[in-house]
Amino acid sequence: MWEIIAPIWDTAKTFFLFFTPVVDFFVETKIPEQIDNIQYKELFTNGWFLVPYLSWLAWNVYKRQFNSLITILLLSGSWAFFGTPYMRGVMNQETIQLGTILPLVGGACTVLGIIIYIFFFKSE
């Protein structure tokens, strides 16, 4: 039995050890902490972020890549929504209330449904 499992285990271990330097880099540079400490008002008034972001949106409009444009706007809107006081109130509770989770699940299903429709059913 071990003769069959050993090569599979070694392959899986080698595969996951491939990502060790990436995880170490994320931990050393404190990327998750930086993402948690983003201040949205300052981000969207910072020219170093705003100019490339708006340029990317303008490029998608110019090239008429509406699938990418809608996806960018949906993901940006979702990202901005997660910084609202409503989300902070949901995440800070010890117990999760069904009434607070259902709008989140509905919104996530709507966003995923739109993205799936755009990429799989309405191709350009």
Domain-wise residue ranges, the chain: 1-37, 39-124
* Tokens (6 digits) for 98: 């069904």
State the pLDDT at residue 124. Answer: 57
* pLDDT for residue 73: 86
Task: Please give the Cα distance from 64 to 79 (Å, whole number).
Answer: 24
Distance CA 105, CA 96 (A): 13
Residue 2's pLDDT band (boundaries 50, 70, 90)? low
pLDDT digits (tens, 9 = 90+) for 45-63: 888 888 998 898 888 888 8
SS3 per-residue string spanning the chain: CHHHHHHHHHHHHHHHHCCHHHHHHHHHHCHHHHHHCCCHHHHCCCHHHHHHHHHHHHHHHHCCCHHHHHHHHHHHHHHHHCCCHHHHHHHCCCCCCHHHHHHHHHHHHHHHHHHHHHHHHCCC
